[in-house]
Amino acid sequence: MSDVTRRLWPLLMLLGLGVLAALVAGCPKEPEVVAPIVEVVPPEEGRSQEPTGEPLKIGGIFAVTGPASALGEPEADTARMLEEQINAEGGIDGRPLQIIIRDTKGDETEGLAAVKELVDREEVLAIVGPSRSGTTLGIIETVEQAEVPLVSCAAASKITNPVKTWVFSTPQSDADAVTRIYGYLQDQDITRIAALTASSGYGIAGLEQLEEQAPDAGLEIVAKEEFADTDTDMTAQLTNIKGTDAQVVICWGIGPTPSLVAKNVAQLQMEIPLIMSHGVANARFIEGAGDAANGVILPAGRLIVAAQLPDDDPQKALLLDYAKQYEDAFGKPADTFGGHAWDAVMLVVEAMRAGATDRAAIRDYIEQTEGFAGIGGVFNFSADAHYGLNPEAFVMVEIVDGAWTLIE
């Protein structure tokens, strides 16, 4: 309630009672009608009516535990935060939003089981997630057959290329990440690269893009090494790379293993730059790598450098708002991966707010979405593009003194 309304409230009450008394005194007698007693309560600023009725259900499948928990945990947290915020504001057209979260553990079998349960038993209207590319690729056939919209939080280009009828994605793609990295290397006059990639779906997709784009960028891959998410030392692979004439190491992976790569590069005193993929754009990478994180360069969404963006950036206000809400709610900084879930959930919510309350209508609405400013970028979808971003959704970032720094 504003100060003005608070001061006038007693006077308004007295005037209302006076008018009522005058009406009663001046009107002819009618059969007595007993009105219900209503307690007059001053309006509370920001108060919304409690949502009621059948909930609008969204399924959320994230790698909350397991090797990809650095991705799935902030995604699940963000989904819960949005559910609470939206329902506190009255829900969607007065109906409650329910986000049913399942932990895939980053495993394809677990992801498939979660999808079947959410589709068949919970009858969700849409699914957001999974966190990992391999998990997403493992469920595409199922969601296509079930005709339920899926908004993935994983980055492999093959998730949406070629286009699948019911599948969309929100993270910046590995193809666009490679484009940005290669543009940076060209500016640095680097022509020979070494690729160190994970054996997971994400790593395999990244290597494919590194190889596919290298010739047009005038780059040569002079060494290729691989690692598993469970590896605890990368000295052997890096020693092999050190014996080549590579001018830079590009590491493509997620979870704790890339932090070990950074440590091993420092231990081997390798004098060439280390570039990471966007799969490490969160605080856990810096915490895991320690001082070895300094100097690492990567493409990332704008969220982790939001305060450094120019004021006319169309995402800046939203990014700062989300970052504050997340830190207030969970006591830790927001990161890129939570932002993927924000975008996925809100694309579905915006469809619901527009009246799309069945699976087909939600799918159609997302496909027609243009100019949606989210955490990952400004999204433009179409029948021919279920990945709504481009390379400009990335900025190049360097870790300096343990902090993300925008490369101008």
Tens-digit pLDDT profile for residues 364-400: 999 999 999 999 999 999 999 999 999 999 999 999 9
Domain shared by 132 and 158, yes or no: yes
**pLDDT digits 0-9 by tens, 201-214:** 899 999 999 999 99
Domain shared by 328 and 255, yes or no: no
Residue 10 lies in a domain: no
Domain shared by 137 and 200, yes or no: no
Residue 408 lies in a domain: no
Residue 296 lies in a domain: yes
- Which residues lie below 8 Å from residue 30, measured CB to CB, with a gap of 6+? none
pLDDT confidence tier of residue 14, bands split at 50, 70 and 90:
very low
Least confident stretch, 8-17, 171-180, 318-327: 8-17
Coil vs helix vs strand at 217: coil
What DSSP assignment string belongs to 330-348?
A: HSS---HHHHHHHHHHHHH
Domain shared by 186 and 150, yes or no: no
Q: Is the pLDDT of residue 15 over 70?
A: no
Last residue of a domain, one of 272, 300, 328: 300
Question: Given this model, what pLDDT does residue 48 score?
Answer: 60
Domain shared by 179 and 167, yes or no: no
Q: Do 327 and 74 contact (CB within 8 A), yes or no? A: no
**pLDDT digits 0-9 by tens, 293-331:** 999 999 999 999 999 999 999 899 999 999 999 999 999
Domain shared by 144 and 254, yes or no: no
> Whole-angstrom Cα distance, residue 191 to residue 126?
44
Last residue of a domain, one of 252, 269, 300: 300
Assigned token pair, 60: 């959320």
Domain shared by 180 and 200, yes or no: yes
Percent of the chain with pLDDT over 70: 88
Overall average pLDDT of the 59-74 stretch: 96
CATH classification of the domain holding 182: 3.40.50.2300
Overall average pLDDT of the 339-343 stretch: 98
Domain shared by 181 and 154, yes or no: no
Residue 167 lies in a domain: yes
Assigned token pair, 384: 């021919």
Domain boundaries, position 200:
175-300
Q: Is the pLDDT of residue 19 over 70?
A: no
pLDDT confidence tier of residue 238, bands split at 50, 70 and 90:
very high
pLDDT confidence tier of residue 5, bands split at 50, 70 and 90:
very low
Domain shared by 294 and 184, yes or no: yes
Residue 42 lies in a domain: no
Q: Do 61 and 107 contact (CB within 8 A), yes or no? A: no
Residue 1 lies in a domain: no
Residue 377 lies in a domain: yes
Q: Do 149 and 363 contact (CB within 8 A), yes or no? A: yes
Question: Given this model, what pLDDT does residue 24 score?
Answer: 35
Residues making up the chain, counted from first to last: 408
Domain shared by 82 and 119, yes or no: yes
**pLDDT digits 0-9 by tens, 80-116:** 999 999 999 999 999 999 999 999 999 999 999 999 9
Residue 66 lies in a domain: yes
Domain shared by 192 and 286, yes or no: yes
Q: Please state the pTM of the whole predicted model.
A: 0.81
Domain shared by 190 and 281, yes or no: yes
What DSSP assignment string belongs to 154-176?
A: ---GGGTSS--TTEEE-SPPHHH
State how many domains the chain has.
2
Q: Is the pLDDT of residue 6 over 70?
A: no
Token pair 């057959």: residue = 145
DSSP state of 393: G
Last residue of a domain, one of 247, 278, 300: 300
- Which residues lie below 8 Å from residue 144, measured CB to CB, with a gap of 6+? 164, 165, 166, 167
- Which residues lie below 8 Å from residue 377, measured CB to CB, with a gap of 6+? 172, 301, 302, 315, 388, 389, 390, 392, 393
